[in-house]
Amino acid sequence: MNRSEPRPLTLSAPGPLTGSLTVPGDKSISHRSLMFGGLAVGETHITGLLEGEDVLATAAAMRAMGCTVTRSGPGEWRVSGVGVGGLLQPETALDMGNSGTSTRLLMGLIASHAITATFIGDASLSRRPMARVIEPLSTMGADFTASPGGRLPLTLRGISPAVPITYTLPVASAQVKSAILLAGLNTPGITRVIEPVLTRDHSERMLTGFGTDISVEPSDQGRVISIRGEAELRPQQIVVPGDPSSAAFWMVAASIVPGSDIVIRNVGLNPTRSGIATALRAMGADIVEQDTREAGGEPVADLRVRHAPLSAIEVPHDLAPSMIDEYPALFVAAAFASGRTVARGAHELRVKESDRIAAMAAALGACGVEIEEFEDGLAVTGTGGDPLPGGARIASLLDHRIAMSMGIASLHAGKPIVVDDARPIATSYPDFTDTAIALGAEAHWVTQ
């Protein structure tokens, strides 16, 4: 099959899922380790880096701006940085592929450097709005020429010195927060971000490790993150923990396939990312932490997950920021629970790689699941543990999380569920299908 053509895939589980696995390195931490390493003076050594297409787009962009980024083995990378303020003008457009994280964080990185960069991406990324990042970075002095709707392709003209700002996040977004903090690294004075709702804090943790002057304090308005600019970053030894977003698929898979018993090793359990485990446990999932420890400043553990009957819940709205990328997997778990699960408070899903609320409503609905769609989430009436009726072909919409979520749903279905194109999975989890097979599943590449 020509790899430029769609690759339809269906998974099935003829028996329980068993064994142990290691998920790819955390995507958020992988992106940041390359960027911060590129701003340090000296060599940063990274192990466990996610080698999916999104992270490789970040590596290529950092190389284009003068950093030396080399792979020395599986998951092992070295970054020789140019120092804060030392980024060079890229000679060609920065191709972000499908990576919204790369795009938004690099916009912040470049905004306070006196260079110009053009960002391009694939069809999916080019539909995603960038205005929420453009607005605060413009206030700092950067200039943007964007496609209609604040979309890619866009050209950013950075400025040095930029103007420090105090910015209150209008929506919960770790990407917007991080973009402003990155711009603040090369901005004289103190740049502040106020977040009324807690979001993932990988940037704050890692910037502390690299030696920046950063503080986090509570206030009546929310957490206030302050960073002093013109920083000098020290190179680091970074161990990237396993990505909880990738682990979520196997937590759900083991929970819904009868008799399953698996161990997911080295999973990052940062409290700003662990909402999916909290929600699944509330539904009755059997998830036990083993060998809890710390790696690279992040809490990690091995997770033993066994099949268990799931019950419907109303997902607390305040869990949304800590599991925003895991909602598609949660919707699948809800499809097998007893009762009607309501998961709302997730407006952000409308502007991901696809409209994930509409995409999952259509996908699960096509498989015979009763769905009610809201502007900010779904209500899902589950089967009580019985297989989904299935028998549908699902539109992945170039969205890796839709493709993997429905791949997991197909493991316990009466009739095959075909994901129309599995290629987007490579953006975050290149070994997803091989891992499913190793746990006892069967994979079938479907003829067009």
Residues 6 or more apart whose Cβ sits within 8 Å of residue 328: 356, 359, 360, 401, 402, 404, 405
To the question of whether residue 304 is assigned a binding role by annotation, the answer is: no
The one-letter amino acid at 88: L
Give the bridge partners for 25, in sequence order: 242
If DSSP codes are grouped into helix, strand and coil, which group holds residue 20? strand
To the question of whether residue 352 is assigned a binding role by annotation, the answer is: yes
- Give CA–CA dist 74/245, Å, rounded: 20
Known active-site residue 325: yes
- Give CA–CA dist 305/315, Å, rounded: 20
* 270 closest CA partner among 19, 21, 27: 27
Give the bridge partners for 215, in sequence order: 226
To the question of whether residue 401 is assigned a binding role by annotation, the answer is: yes
To the question of whether residue 175 is assigned a binding role by annotation, the answer is: yes
Nearest-5° Cα angle at 377, 374 to 383: 100
> What is the DSSP code (8-state) at residue 230?
S
The single residue of 325, 399, 421, 431 carrying the catalytic annotation is 325
The one-letter amino acid at 64: A
To the question of whether residue 173 is assigned a binding role by annotation, the answer is: yes
> Could you give the maximum distance between any two Cα atoms of the chain, in Å?
61
To the question of whether residue 356 is assigned a binding role by annotation, the answer is: yes
HSE toward the beta carbon, residue 130, CA cutoff 13 A: 33
To the question of whether residue 28 is assigned a binding role by annotation, the answer is: yes
Binding-site annotation, residues: 27-28, 32, 100, 128, 173, 175, 325, 352, 356, 401
Report, as residue numbers or ranges, the catalytic residues: 325
Binding-site annotation, residues for phosphoenolpyruvate: 27, 100, 128, 175, 356, 401
Binding-site annotation, residues for 3-phosphoshikimate: 27-28, 32, 173, 175, 325, 352
